[in-house]
């Protein structure tokens, strides 16, 4: 069975989706980063459906989405100056702030029982309208099965989740195509837990020298929640095997991959590949990290659809501007 997919431009669709959320159902909806799989965050029974639909382990906490700063603040026990500064600069937008949780407002399940809650005010007009209409905070991970590629279109969400979701709002492709940046403000110094749509350079204007916590876990450490499950090494992965390759080694890698299997081999580069070998489906995503990120997941979904057994992906520059893309490529290929 297929879930219902409604055009988000129709106000009646927003109302209907809001009603599904209010009664504890699941709605996939567009945000400016990727599609989210939402449930009301103030009811543990509703949130439990997210974990079941995704096949996501319960130690992996969720981001709570709200329509405005005041609502976000009301779910926390403290609101440091850095939160105020970042919220006024980047909200609504693709930044997630991790802050001390008010346990009377946010159930344990949302936060894997931990002391903090991840909060985001999305900028996408459909996400915003849905949050306003629902009138409740909405927990939403990306609308894909656990460890699979994030969806950047309603169709990706439909194919990934099927009838595990009650309703999908189709708002077209996402602007950023890569998840929000997650910043932890609960510690002594702010730290980026997941590189994402807001670059560390942009954050550094308000948080000088803000660091990135390196990925270090393959699975949940015994008896405790991960500092950030986005740090799981394998994540955001297509079905095809993905190899990150230095530009000068691309042709050799393609030939080797092609000799392993009769199926086509994908190749993702910055600039167009000169003389792509036969059997290679080549995509050039350009040299701008923002445009590249926007196209990346959709390109990998497309290569999966075309039956690629493997994808060789040209290594991207080592600069901070490419940090989020490098992070996703590293996880998808590990």
Q: Nearest distance from residue 72's CB to ligand TXA, in Å? A: 13
Site for Mg ion in 121-180 (CB under 5 A): 142
- Shortest Cβ distance from residue 112 to ligand TXA (Å)? 7
Q: How far is CA 11 from CA 16, 130, 170, 298, in A?
A: 9, 10, 12, 27
Closer to Mg ion at the Cβ: 141 or 264? 141
CB of 137 to ligand TXA, least distance (A): 13
**Beta carbon nearer to ligand TXA, 127 or 312:** 127
Does 283 sit near Mg ion (CB under 5 A)? Answer: no
Tokens of 57: 């382990």
Q: Is 142 or 181 the residue whose CB approaches Mg ion more closely?
A: 142
Question: In 14-166, which ranges are E strands?
Answer: 27-29, 36-40, 63-65, 95-100, 116-120, 138-139
SS3 118: strand
Residues 6+ apart with CB under 8 A from 318: 326
Helix axes 289-305, 154-161, angle to 10 degrees: 40
Select 114 or 264, whichever has its Cβ closest to ligand TXA: 114
92 preceded by cis ω (within 30°)? yes
Of 104 and 275, CB closest to ligand TXA: 104
Q: Which residues, in sequence order, are CB contacts of 58 under 8 Å at separation 6+?
A: 51, 109, 112
User: How many chain residues bind Mg ion (CB under 5 A)?
Assistant: 1
CB of 258 to ligand TXA, least distance (A): 33
Where do contacts with ligand TXA occur on this chain (CB under 6 A)?
31, 33-34, 36, 61-63, 94, 96, 98, 111, 114, 116-118, 120, 140-142, 179-180, 182, 193-194, 228-230
Q: CB of residue 140 vs ligand TXA: minimum separation in angstroms?
A: 5
Position of minimal CB gap to Mg ion: 142
67 binds, among ligand TXA, Mg ion, none (CB under 5 to 8 A by kind): none
263 neighbors 299 (Cβ within 8 angstroms):
no
Do the Cβ atoms of 246 and 312 come closer than 8 Å? no
Residues that bind Mg ion (CB under 5 A): 142
């Amino acid at each position: 069975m297929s879930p219902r997919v409604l055009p988000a431009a129709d106000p009646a669709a927003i109302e209907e989706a809001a009603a599904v959320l209010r009664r504890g159902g699941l709605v996939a909806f567009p945000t400016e980063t990727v599609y989210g799989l939402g449930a009301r965050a103030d009811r543990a029974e509703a949130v439990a459906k997210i974990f079941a639909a995704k096949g996501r382990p319960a130690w992996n906490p969720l981001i709570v989405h709200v329509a405005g700063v005041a609502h976000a603040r009301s779910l926390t026990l403290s609101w440091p100056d850095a939160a105020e500064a970042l919220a006024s600069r980047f909200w609504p937008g693709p930044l997630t702030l991790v802050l001390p949780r008010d346990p009377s407002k946010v159930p344990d399940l949302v936060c894997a029982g931990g002391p903090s809650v991840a909060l985001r005010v999305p900028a996408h007009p459909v996400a915003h309208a849905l949050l306003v209409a629902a009138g409740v905070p909405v927990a939403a991970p990306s609308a894909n099965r656990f460890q699979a590629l994030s969806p950047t279109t309603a169709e990706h969400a439909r194919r990934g989740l099927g009838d595990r979701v009650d309703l999908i709002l189709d708002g077209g492709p996402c602007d950023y195509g890569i998840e929000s940046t997650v910043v932890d403000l609960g510690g002594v110094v702010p730290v980026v837990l997941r590189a994402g749509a807001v670059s560390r350079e942009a954050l550094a204007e308000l948080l000088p020298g803000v660091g990135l916590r390196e990925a270090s876990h393959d699975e949940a450490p015994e008896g405790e929640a991960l500092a950030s499950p986005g740090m799981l090494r394998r994540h955001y992965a297509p079905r095809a095997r993905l190899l990150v390759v230095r530009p000068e080694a691309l042709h050799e890698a393609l030939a080797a991959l092609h000799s392993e299997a009769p199926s086509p081999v994908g190749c993702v580069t910055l600039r167009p590949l000169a003389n792509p070998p036969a059997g290679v489906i080549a995509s050039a995503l350009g040299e701008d990290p923002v445009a590249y990120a926007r196209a990346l997941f959709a390109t990998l979904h497309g290569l999966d659809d075309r039956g690629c057994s493997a994808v060789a992906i040209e290594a991207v520059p080592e600069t901070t501007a490419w940090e989020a893309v490098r992070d996703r490529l590293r996880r998808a290929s590990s």
